[in-house]
Structure formats: C-alpha cells, structure tokens
Amino acid sequence: MLLVSGKEIKSSVSMPEAIDCVARGFSDFNDGLFHMPQRTIMDIEAATVLTMPCYRKDGKYFVIKVVTVFDQSSIKKDKMVDSSVIVFDSKNGNLLAKLDGDSITAIRTGAASGIATKYFSSPLSEVLAIFGTGVQALTQVEAVISCRPIKKVFVYSRNVKSAKRFSNYIHNLFSIDVMPGRVKDLKNADVICTATPSEDSLFKLGAIKRGVHINAIGSFKPSMKEIH
C-alpha cells in the first residue's frame, strides 16, 4: 500500500493546477460522470466522524475520505481535525493507497473557492478579508491570490496572537500587505473568505459593501453559521 504524506502532496500540486483540476471535476460531475452519495455524519462522545465515498464511472479507482473532528477541550491533541483519503482498486477492491486528507481537503477547498472567485468576483478585486487562521484559511488566501490581483489582506480571528502570527506568515509567503482586521475594514473588502467552525455570525450585512464576493467554507453541521 502506498502512503502519501501531506508534505509530498503539497510539493506535487500547485494551486493553479488544483484549480484547473477541480474545475474539470465540477464539469464531469455536472455531466453525471461521478457517483458520489451524500456524506454521512456520525456524532460520538467527543467527536464528529464524516465519511465521503466517491467513484468516477468507468474509473480505475474509488475513494473514501474519512474525517474526524474532535472537541479540543475534551482531548489532548495538537489539532481538532484529522482526515485520510483511502484509495481502492475498482476492479477487485484491493486497498491501494492512503493519502493525507488534511492537505488534500485544504487544497481542494481552496481551489473550489478559487473557481468561485474567478467567475463571480470583480476582476479588479484587490482587498481580501479572511476569517480563520488554520490550514483551510491559508489555502483560501492562496487560491484567491492566484485568481485576483490582491494587494491587501485583512485577517480576522478571535485569538489576537493567531491573527498576528498568520498575518506575518502570509506576508512573508506572498509579499503583500497583511494585517489583523477591524470591523470597519470589512467595508474595503472585495472578497471575503470564512474558514471557521463558528456557530455565530461572523459579521452583519451592514458591515460589508455591495458587490463583495463571499466564499463561506467552514460550516459542516446545521448548528454552524458563519454568515448572518
């Protein structure tokens, strides 16, 4: 069985390549080429477990992604979310590979937002606001920067230290103007990305300008609500 780490995945696929790949996947899905049942969600004592199978018709493989989301207050772990993508031979069911699901999910979700930003935001968008400072937030920024001439990024987080650390990282990575955001800065945002598990609205409608494009990707349960 092949084991593929997150580091190997990240070094093998650029964001522009991922955006093109996911766009083709969306097109094939629209053409009815994928069998992809609704994901199942199972709640256990301290976690939520999500399973997502997928098969491309006449394909050589089928895959299952398994995600666990733990309550950080109940366990001692470095991160709340873990995931794996498991690949099987569609002809005989043999287990072929286990890939790091965290990196694939982050890249795929970022790419999906990149596609949406490419087709629905203003081509002249220069200011991005990002809510969240995790792995998903990073690829959201990367994808938007790949599609639009972003010159400034506002970072929003309930944790001030996380916001500053993330801002410095993004600035060093992309050499653009990045800073922790204030409520009034949202009015300047051309694109807003939300990548949090928040159960409360992150901002009110009156805080944003008309015509802003929003990628809201954090919520995965009915109780979660990033947007008012």
Query: What are the structural domain ranges in the chain?
Result: 2-104, 121-216
Pick the range with the lowest mean pLDDT from 129-133, 199-203, 217-221. Answer: 217-221
Look up the CATH number of domain 121-216: 3.40.50.720
Nearest CA-CA partner of 39 in 5, 10, 61, 69: 69
Top pLDDT among 44 and 64 is at 64
Structure confidence at residue 8 (pLDDT): 97
Alpha-carbon span 39 to 42, nearest angstrom: 10
Average pLDDT, the chain: 93
Tokens of 89: 């031979």
User: How does DSSP assign 119-154, residue by residue?
Assistant: HHS-TT--EEEEE--SHHHHHHHHHHHHHS---EEE
> What class, spelled out in words, does domain 2-104 have in CATH?
alpha beta
Top pLDDT among 79 and 159 is at 159
pLDDT above 80 for 189:
yes
Tokens of 83: 């995931």
Structure confidence at residue 3 (pLDDT): 97
Predicted confidence band of residue 73 (pLDDT cuts 50, 70, 90) = low
